[in-house]
Amino acid sequence: MAPLSWYLALAAGLFCVGLYAVLGRRNAVTILMGVVLMLNGVLLNMVALWRYVASGTADGQVFALLVILITAAEVLVGLALAVALWRERGTAVVDELESLRE
């Protein structure tokens, strides 16, 4: 079994890549992918800590499934919004979407 520090380093790397995608990109789909990477980094961190601290219970697995379900719902709603904006405005660049009231 790998040491806890390896899992924490991988989770931090995933989170940093996701944060870069959210802050450094302008495309709505890329931003959504960055948010998903950030959630996966947090999920890996929590599951690794659960495995090393309290592996006798199923709390960590239930929490992981809950986070996966929330992530899937977030991606579904986000992609639906991105497709709707693409059809309405013809662009998925977030900076060009000045007002959503029009």
Residue 62 to residue 99: CA distance in whole angstroms:
40
Instruction: Give the list of residues 6+ apart from residue 38 with CB closer than 8 angstroms, or none.
Output: 14, 15, 18, 19, 22
* pLDDT tier for residue 7 given thresholds of 50, 70 and 90: very high
Domain extents in the chain: 4-90
**CATH assignment of 4-90, among 3.40.50.2300, 3.20.20.100, 2.170.130.10, 1.10.287.3510:** 1.10.287.3510
What is the average pLDDT across 65-91?
Answer: 86
Tokens of 56: 């006798």
Taking 60 as the threshold, does the pLDDT of residue 9 lie above it?
A: yes
Residue 34 has pLDDT above 80, yes or no: yes
Portion of the chain with pLDDT greater than 70, in percent:
94
